[in-house]
């Protein structure tokens, strides 16, 4: 039996809010079996709790953001991706601002925090959402799909008509394991085009965005002095986002996800379509004797080192 997971001890961190440009503090705390992932806004009195729920996503323009009773929790996707990658089921996340710090624009700093806190198995069976029928959402030429699968597989394809993206791999696949997620996906950073960032910042948005927390592309080249972490870092990050967006369903999936030019909005619409379509999914456990491609194990060589 695969067991639910939380962390062994509380741990804190801080970083810049990509939208506010201000420092955001974050604290991760263990949570009991069956709690799920719950955000807490400590800058609001009394403290407000916002459990993760795909139905509460209200903004997907620049990030994935939940809003419940006027309380906003934004930029959750990279942290949610890290939690999915390490198989964390139960956690309290305390924030003193409306957004999760962007850190370096990837999930790797959150992986590091979680590993430093330690991961503890709990006395409760891990629950999965099994997809029983294929379901798809489309907008123009963009689409996202979930299909039945024995395990968890993700495919993502991007298509940008831009010199930087030519002759680079535009497709990536992850047959889910924690080891492969940490090694191949977690370090991929978010990216943006200089013209878009300048426009947003001129309108008081994305004030914390910089070369320290994003790969920035101008009309012809990558502006980051150190270049890319992977030659296909762009598509790897889009898959990272999808892992986090899908974890807003509240449990890991047994399914095959395929995305073509998808983003936070379409990923959330896919989650809502799953929840609202009878017979498409069911709660299930995972028989360790049943053949599947899931692996939540990792060794010392998989730990990330951040000075």
Dump pLDDT digits (tens) for 198-212: 888 888 888 999 999
In residues, how long is the chain? Answer: 307
Q: DSSP character for 170?
A: -
CB 145 within 8 A of CB 135: yes
Give the per-residue pLDDT at 232. 97
Helix (H, G, I), strand (E, B) or coil at 37: strand
Whole-angstrom Cα distance, residue 136 to residue 143?
7
The CATH architecture one would assign to domain 3-126 is: 2-Layer Sandwich (3.30)
Residue 78 assigned as binding residue: yes
| H-run or E-run covering 77 | helix 77-86
- Positions annotated as catalytic residues are 264
Q: Which two tokens stand for residue 36?
A: 């799920």
Signed CA dihedral, 152, 303, 93, 200: sign only = negative
CB 246 within 8 A of CB 257: yes
Q: Across residues 49-78, what is the average pLDDT?
A: 96
From 1-5, 137-141, 237-241, the region with the lowest mean pLDDT:
1-5
CB 101 within 8 A of CB 13: yes
Give the per-residue pLDDT at 130. 97
Query: What are the domain boundaries of the chain?
Result: 3-126, 128-285
Q: DSSP character for 202?
A: H
Q: Which pLDDT tens digit goes with each residue over 259-280?
A: 999 999 999 999 999 999 999 9
Whole-angstrom Cα distance, residue 73 to residue 103?
16
Give the per-residue pLDDT at 64. 97
Whole-angstrom Cα distance, residue 292 to residue 289?
9
Give the per-residue pLDDT at 120. 97
Instruction: Specify the CATH superfamily of domain 128-285.
Output: lpxc deacetylase, domain 2 (3.30.1700.10)
Give the per-residue pLDDT at 306. 44
CB 19 within 8 A of CB 99: yes
Q: Which pLDDT tens digit goes with each residue over 71-105?
A: 999 999 999 999 999 999 999 999 999 999 999 99
Beta bridge partner(s), residue 284: 128
Write the DSSP assignment of 267-286 as a string of letters: HHHHHHHHHHSTTSEEEE--
Residue 237 assigned as binding residue: yes
Query: What percent of the chain has a predicted confidence (pLDDT) above 90?
Result: 86
Q: DSSP character for 185?
A: I
Give the per-residue pLDDT at 45. 94
pLDDT of 52 over the 50 cut: yes
- Nearest-CA neighbor of 241 among 295, 186, 194, 294? 186
Instruction: Count Cα atoms within 13 angstroms, Cβ side, for 32.
Output: 0
> Confidence class of residue 167 from pLDDT cuts 50, 70 and 90?
confident
Q: Across residues 205-227, what is the average pLDDT?
A: 94
CB 128 within 8 A of CB 247: no
CB 99 within 8 A of CB 105: no
Give the per-residue pLDDT at 297. 83
Whole-angstrom Cα distance, residue 205 to residue 208?
8
Give the per-residue pLDDT at 229. 98
List Cβ neighbours of 47 (8 Å cut-off, separation of 6 or more): 40, 41
Q: Across residues 5-24, what is the average pLDDT?
A: 96
Whole-angstrom Cα distance, residue 146 to residue 258?
7
Whole-angstrom Cα distance, residue 57 to residue 79?
15
pLDDT of 131 over the 90 cut: yes
Q: DSSP character for 99?
A: B
pLDDT of 299 over the 70 cut: no
Beta bridge partner(s), residue 196: none
pLDDT of 305 over the 50 cut: no
List Cβ neighbours of 220 (8 Å cut-off, separation of 6 or more): 163, 164
Residue 43 assigned as binding residue: no
């Amino acid at each position: 039996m695969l067991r639910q997971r939380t962390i062994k001890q509380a741990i804190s961190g801080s970083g810049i809010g990509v939208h506010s440009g201000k420092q955001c503090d974050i604290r991760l705390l263990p949570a009991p079996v069956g709690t799920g992932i719950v955000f807490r806004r400590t800058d609001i009195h009394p403290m407000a709790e916002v459990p993760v729920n795909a139905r509460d996503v209200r903004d997907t323009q620049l990030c994935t953001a939940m809003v419940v009773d006027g309380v906003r929790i934004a930029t959750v996707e990279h942290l949610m991706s890290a939690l999915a990658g390490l198989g964390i089921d139960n956690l309290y996340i305390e924030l003193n601002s409306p957004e999760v710090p962007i850190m370096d624009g990837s999930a790797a700093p959150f992986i590091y925090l979680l590993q430093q806190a330690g991961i503890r198995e709990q006395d409760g069976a891990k629950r999965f959402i099994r997809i029983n029928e294929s379901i798809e959402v489309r907008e123009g030429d963009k689409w996202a799909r979930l299909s039945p699968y024995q395990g968890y597989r993700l495919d993502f394809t991007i298509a940008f008509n831009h010199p930087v993206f030519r002759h680079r791999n535009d497709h990536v696949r992850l047959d889910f394991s924690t080891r492969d997620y940490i090694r191949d996906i977690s370090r991929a950073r978010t990216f943006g085009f200089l013209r878009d960032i300048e426009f947003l910042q001129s309108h008081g948005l994305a004030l914390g965005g910089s070369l320290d927390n994003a790969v920035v592309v101008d009309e012809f080249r990558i502006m980051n002095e150190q270049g890319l972490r992977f030659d296909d870092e762009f598509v790897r990050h889009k898959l990272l986002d999808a892992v986090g967006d899908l974890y807003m369903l509240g449990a890991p999936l047994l399914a095959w996800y395929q995305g073509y030019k998808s983003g936070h909005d379409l990923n959330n619409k896919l989650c809502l379509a799953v929840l609202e379509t009878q017979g498409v999914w069911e709660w299930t456990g995972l028989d360790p004797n049943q053949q599947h491609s899931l692996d939540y194990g990792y060794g010392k060589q998989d730990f990330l080192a951040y000075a």
